[in-house]
Amino acid sequence: KRLLRVTATILYAHEKLRQRREMIVGVLWLLSLLSFYRPDITALALRFGCGGA
Protein backbone atom coordinates (compact mmCIF):
# COMPACT_ATOMS: atom_id res chain seq x y z
CA LYS A 1 0.00 0.00 0.00
CA ARG A 2 2.83 2.35 0.84
CA LEU A 3 4.59 1.52 -2.42
CA LEU A 4 1.41 2.48 -4.28
CA ARG A 5 1.33 5.87 -2.56
CA VAL A 6 5.01 6.49 -3.33
CA THR A 7 4.44 5.61 -6.99
CA ALA A 8 1.44 7.95 -7.18
CA THR A 9 3.46 10.77 -5.60
CA ILE A 10 6.32 10.28 -8.06
CA LEU A 11 3.91 10.26 -11.01
CA TYR A 12 2.20 13.40 -9.72
CA ALA A 13 5.51 15.21 -9.23
CA HIS A 14 6.66 14.12 -12.69
CA GLU A 15 3.47 15.50 -14.25
CA LYS A 16 3.90 18.81 -12.41
CA LEU A 17 7.50 19.07 -13.61
CA ARG A 18 6.46 18.32 -17.17
CA GLN A 19 3.80 21.04 -17.09
CA ARG A 20 6.29 23.54 -15.68
CA ARG A 21 8.86 22.63 -18.33
CA GLU A 22 6.28 23.14 -21.08
CA MET A 23 5.40 26.53 -19.57
CA ILE A 24 9.08 27.52 -19.45
CA VAL A 25 9.52 26.46 -23.08
CA GLY A 26 6.49 28.55 -24.02
CA VAL A 27 7.83 31.59 -22.16
CA LEU A 28 11.26 31.22 -23.79
CA TRP A 29 9.59 30.93 -27.20
CA LEU A 30 7.58 34.11 -26.56
CA LEU A 31 10.72 35.90 -25.37
CA SER A 32 12.63 34.88 -28.50
CA LEU A 33 9.75 36.16 -30.65
CA LEU A 34 9.67 39.42 -28.69
CA SER A 35 13.44 39.84 -28.93
CA PHE A 36 13.12 39.47 -32.70
CA TYR A 37 10.49 42.21 -32.98
CA ARG A 38 11.11 44.43 -29.95
CA PRO A 39 14.57 44.02 -28.34
CA ASP A 40 13.94 46.91 -25.91
CA ILE A 41 10.80 45.27 -24.46
CA THR A 42 12.61 41.95 -24.11
CA ALA A 43 15.49 43.56 -22.20
CA LEU A 44 12.95 45.23 -19.92
CA ALA A 45 11.06 41.96 -19.38
CA LEU A 46 14.27 40.06 -18.63
CA ARG A 47 15.39 42.71 -16.15
CA PHE A 48 11.94 42.66 -14.53
CA GLY A 49 11.88 38.86 -14.45
CA CYS A 50 15.34 38.57 -12.91
CA GLY A 51 14.50 41.29 -10.38
CA GLY A 52 11.15 39.74 -9.50
CA ALA A 53 12.62 36.25 -9.13
Q: What's the structural domain count of the chain?
A: 1
Q: What is the mean pLDDT of residues 10-36?
A: 89
pTM of the model: 0.45
The whole-number pLDDT of residue 52 equals 58
* Whole-number pLDDT of residue 36: 80
Give the structural domain span for 43: 2-52
Average pLDDT of the chain, as a whole number: 84
> Which pLDDT tens digit goes with each residue over 2-18?
999 999 999 999 999 99
- Residue 48 confidence (pLDDT): 77
Q: Which of 1-5, 26-30, 34-38 has the lowest mean pLDDT?
A: 34-38
Would you say 28 and 20 are in contact if contact means Cβ atoms under 8 Å apart? no
Cα separation, 23 vs 20, whole angstroms = 5
How far is Cα 33 from Cα 37, in angstroms, rounded to an integer? 7
